[in-house]
Amino acid sequence: MTAVRSDGALAQIDPELASILADEEERQRSSLALIASENYASVAVRQVSGSIFTNKYAEGYPGKRYYAGNQWVDSAEALAIERAKRLFSAEHANVQPHAGSQANMAAYFATLNIGDTVLAMELAQGGHLTHGASFNFSGKLYRFVHYGVRRDTEVLDYDEIEAIARREKPKLIVAGATAYPRIIDFERFRAIADTVGARLMVDMAHIAGLVAGGVHPSPVPHADVVTFTTHKTLRGPRGGAILCRQELARKVDSAVFPGLQGGPLEHAVAAKAVAFHEALQPEYRVYQRQVVSNCQALAAHMGRLGARIVSGGTDNHLFLLDLTPLGLDGQQASDKAELAGLILNKNLIPFDPLPPTRASGLRVGTACVTTRGLGESDMAQVGEFLFRALVAPDEEALLAIRADVRAMLDDFPAPFLTPLMPAEAR
């Protein structure tokens, strides 16, 4: 009988997958990633993500596990919790949610009964599926009512949000977005929640890194519960987390486990600890400032080239480009950009006349390119690539841009994409 191989080369054990992985590595290396919800995790984060913690079952929490053998898992998870609390000045942290949706579901379980009324941002105006979309668990289990942005300014209308809250008397108000380029006034949201006796939840998935880096006001002093993902601007492993006031700690913990998850992904939890450690370093604040400066520079450059920027600019890591003046829809634009080596996603713009499958906009984010080392002076070049791609007449023109993108990226060799295994072992 031959023993199952447990050592060495992925290329020998599974050449098919090794080849797919090599192709993906090359794709990441040679294209400009402008998707606002993505980033490049550090080698240290990926090392722990792919570590032997994946072998362990650990249902429960540090010191209270269902299975034996969790001494070191407990140490890793306790470290992640302590660092998350320190990073965000939070009273309590749960680092087990597998992703942002599970974090939001747990926050709802901890604060609501089925059928309760919740006020959140409309998906079509920048919210999220889990903020009450009718086809999502949130919209099926709870009675969501929605707010949006003003038609003229394309920014949140807090007076209107307050009027809806007074009318609908929600038990929970959700602030936070996936496609909103402006600072969110969490203090005002708190005041509105207090006016109607609601709890306040903030989904800071997109801006968690900016908050950690001190370039967006923190929701933590104002919200009862804050959810986030660790892989977007925060630049950690794929996953979710929840912060809350001590008063909600037990409810949040039991909502995550045993409420909706089983065994936690402890390799991801340990990698979250590494990401929080990185975010606590002084250079992380410099990085987050650069993300925002790059975004403002890129938006300004696209505006100068003749594109319309929703709300006239950006305060954070993303902006929305209205493609209407260019005679393209979002799908056509992202297809053209991809051929030119620029990776981004179509996005609805406020009051979009097109369906989500087409959309009138593109969402552009700068977390990835900033990790890669590009600065404000490179943003004019990136903007030009994108603009040229959008107006390119044919495939030949797009492939010419792709060659230029590749040449530019040769100057940014992406050390964070260093393979974890030496080439001969792969």
Q: Which of 34, 83, 94, 100 touches ligand DSN by CB under 6 A? A: 100
Residue (37 or 218) nearer to ligand DSN, CB: 37
Task: Give dist(CA 298, CA 301) in Å, integer.
Answer: 5
Closest contact distance (angstroms) between CB of 391 and ligand DSN is 26
Q: How many residues bind ligand DSN (CB under 6 A)?
A: 4
Residue (53 or 228) nearer to ligand DSN, CB: 228
Tokens of 57: 């079952």
Concatenating the DSSP letter of every residue in 170-235 gives -SEEEE--SS--S---HHHHHHHHHHHT-EEEEE-TTTHHHHHTTSS--STTT-SEEEEESSSTT-
Task: Give dist(CA 47, CA 53) in Å, integer.
Answer: 11
Q: Which residue do the tokens 């600065």 mark?
A: 375
Closest contact distance (angstroms) between CB of 201 and ligand DSN is 16
Residue (81 or 175) nearer to ligand DSN, CB: 175
Closest contact distance (angstroms) between CB of 178 and ligand DSN is 4
x-or-dash pattern for ligand DSN, window 239-278, by CB under 6 A? ----------------------------------------
Note whether 31 binds ligand DSN by CB under 6 A. Answer: no
Residue (200 or 205) nearer to ligand DSN, CB: 205
Which helix (H) or strand (E) segment holds residue 31: the answer is none
Residue (298 or 398) nearer to ligand DSN, CB: 298
Task: Give dist(CA 353, CA 332) in Å, integer.
Answer: 16
Closest contact distance (angstroms) between CB of 363 and ligand DSN is 8
Note whether 365 binds ligand DSN by CB under 6 A. Answer: no
SS3 category, 40: coil
Q: What residues are annotated to the active site?
A: 57, 59, 203, 229, 232, 238
Tokens of 337: 């950009």
Closest contact distance (angstroms) between CB of 130 and ligand DSN is 8
- Residues in region 377-416 near ligand DSN by CB under 6 A: none
Q: Do 116 and 122 contact (CB within 8 A), yes or no?
A: no
Residue (182 or 426) nearer to ligand DSN, CB: 182
Q: Which of 37, 125, 218, 371 touches ligand DSN by CB under 6 A? A: 37
Closest contact distance (angstroms) between CB of 220 and ligand DSN is 20
- What SS3 string covers 381-424? HHHHHHHHHHHCCCHHHHHHHHHHHHHHHCCCCCHHHCCCCCHH
| CB-side neighbour CA atoms (13 Å) of 93 | 24
Task: Give dist(CA 181, CA 202) in Å, integer.
Answer: 16
Distances in Å between the alpha carbon of 320 and those of 137, 205, 224, 332, 365? Answer: 27, 18, 30, 16, 9
Residue (92 or 206) nearer to ligand DSN, CB: 206
Beta strands in 271-334, from DSSP E residues, in sequence order: 308-309, 318-322
Name the percent of the chain in helix, strand, coil, to the closest 5: 50, 15, 40
x-or-dash pattern for ligand DSN, window 119-158, by CB under 6 A? ---------x------------------------------
Closest contact distance (angstroms) between CB of 100 and ligand DSN is 5
For residue 349, report the phi and psi dihedrals to the nearest 5 degrees.
-105, 165
Note whether 178 binds ligand DSN by CB under 6 A. Answer: yes
Residue (206 or 222) nearer to ligand DSN, CB: 206
> ∠ CA 230-234-238 to the nearest 5 degrees?
30
Q: Which residue do the tokens 């792709």 mark?
A: 402
Q: Do 190 and 245 contact (CB within 8 A), yes or no?
A: no
Closest contact distance (angstroms) between CB of 225 and ligand DSN is 18
Distances in Å between the alpha carbon of 96 and those of 16, 56, 191, 255? Answer: 32, 14, 30, 11
State the residue number with the nearest CB to ligand DSN.
37
- Residues in region 292-331 near ligand DSN by CB under 6 A: none
Distance of CA 160 to the CA centre of its chain: 27
Interface residues toward ligand DSN, by CB under 6 A: 37, 100, 128, 178
